[in-house]
Amino acid sequence: MTGLTVEELQVRFGDVLAVDRVSLSVAPGELVLLLGPSGCGKTTFLRAVAGFVEAGGGRIRFGDQDVTRLPPHARNAGLVFQSFALWPHMSVGENVAFGLREQGVPRAEIPARVDQALASVELGGFAARRIDQLSGGEQQRVALARALIVRPRCLLLDEPLANLDARLRRAMRDQIRRICKSFGLASIYVTHDQKEALAVADRIAVMQKGRLLQLGSPREVYRRPASRAVAEFLGETNLVAGQVVAADASGVEIACSLGRLRAAATDRQPGDAVWVSIRPESLRLARDAATTVNRISAVRGEVVYLGDVAEHRLQAGEQSLLVTEANPGAASAEAGETVTLEVAPEDVVLLARET
């Protein structure tokens, strides 16, 4: 099994630095999700790893081999694109076998290899079908089988589920993860879908303007974002400007428009200017009137019902707050009601702020 290592990769298009010294290592069997807004450089990074875009600096290694200057066909990476790129005039089996023919595999070996690849994506017996006879999810699995049949050293996926409906996306993301693990493939998966990234990834790499902002487990990146940009992009958050006014061994106290809040952070000092980031699900109605830590008075606004959750808009002075309620009941709260919210100190995340 082969790992993938990218060191200080740079890609330029004229005067535009599309990828700015990005370093990333992916272990065999690991699935790393590249996440970021449109134009952040994630697809350019993937295409450079595949060999379709020339690296202006840095190094790309598959295992111990430096592939930075090799053409795409010599890298032996499995590629799956958003469009699937299947040929409609070929059968399923012919589409899957294309890479083997390009590699010069003996004709007698190809049918067995095709059957094996289709079986690995649960499409056994589909070799004779036409592409237009397949559903979107089945076409996606054919694209995966075509990438896997050449026995790639790594798997590169660019928005592979973007053209599928929500139900198929959920089913296919689980299958992609299963395949990456069962084949032991170092895999890089580009997406802008945050829930997809959180559900599939072993690690998430958040990019913005060509740079890697943060790399870590889904839980780490979501609960402990390294910057305001990461906190705002990955999920919803309430951001409030504040300043650290006291610190001790158990945490710090912050003064902000929500009042005095306690955070469990131990890496800040009095006088530090910070952004206070509180995820909507971390705010809840105060259960105990005697609670004295992190109580926030707010006025209810509109409620948006989304089935599995309800989004509540509240106003705390001049600060608008978003609060999410899981499994909301039938009763709806009245707008204009004053309520008291609470948040645990460990859910108050402090991010550096320029003064």
Taking alpha carbons only, the member of 188, 158, 192 closest to residue 37 is 192
- The backbone torsions φ and ψ at residue 38, rounded to the nearest 5 degrees and listed phi first, read -60, 135
For the entire predicted model, the pTM comes to 0.88
Q: In CATH, which superfamily holds the domain spanning 236-352? A: Nucleic acid-binding proteins (2.40.50.140)
Query: Once rounded to an integer, what is the mean pLDDT over residues 35-49?
Result: 93
**Would you state the pLDDT for residue 281?**
95
Q: How far is CA 318 from CA 73, 156, 226, 228, 336, in A?
A: 58, 46, 26, 20, 15
Residue 64's SS3 state is: coil
Report the Cα–Cα distance between both ends of the chain, in Å, rounded.
49
Domain limits, the chain = 4-231, 236-352
Q: In what order do the strands lie in the sheet with 211-216?
A: 77-80, 154-158, 186-191, 31-35, 203-208, 211-216
The least confident of 179-183, 195-199, 274-278, 289-293 is 289-293
At 273-311, the pLDDT tens digits run: 999 999 999 999 887 666 678 999 999 999 888 888 889
Question: How does DSSP assign 309-327, residue by residue?
Answer: EEEEEEEETTEEEEEEEES
Question: Which helix (H) or strand (E) segment is 251 a member of?
Answer: strand 251-256
DSSP 343: -
The least confident of 144-153, 159-168, 255-264, 297-306 is 159-168
- Inform me whether the pLDDT recorded for 354 exceeds 80: no
DSSP 254: E
pLDDT more than 70, % of the chain: 97
Query: Once rounded to an integer, what is the mean pLDDT over residues 103-108?
Result: 87
Residue 8: pLDDT band (50, 70, 90) is: very high
Average pLDDT for the chain:
91
For 94-237, strand residue ranges (E) read 154-158, 186-191, 203-208, 211-216
Beta bridge partners of 26: 4
pLDDT more than 90, % of the chain: 65
The least confident of 46-60, 133-147, 218-232, 239-253 is 133-147
Say how far apart CA 97 and CA 107 lie, in whole Å: 10
Where residue 104 falls (left for φ over 0; alpha for ψ -120 to 50; beta otherwise) is left
Residue 331: pLDDT band (50, 70, 90) is: low
Query: Once rounded to an integer, what is the mean pLDDT over residues 2-27?
Result: 96
| CATH 3.10.330.20 for the 4-231 domain, yes or no | no
**Would you state the pLDDT for residue 316?**
95
**Would you state the pLDDT for residue 27?**
97
- The backbone torsions φ and ψ at residue 229, rounded to the nearest 5 degrees and listed phi first, read -60, -45
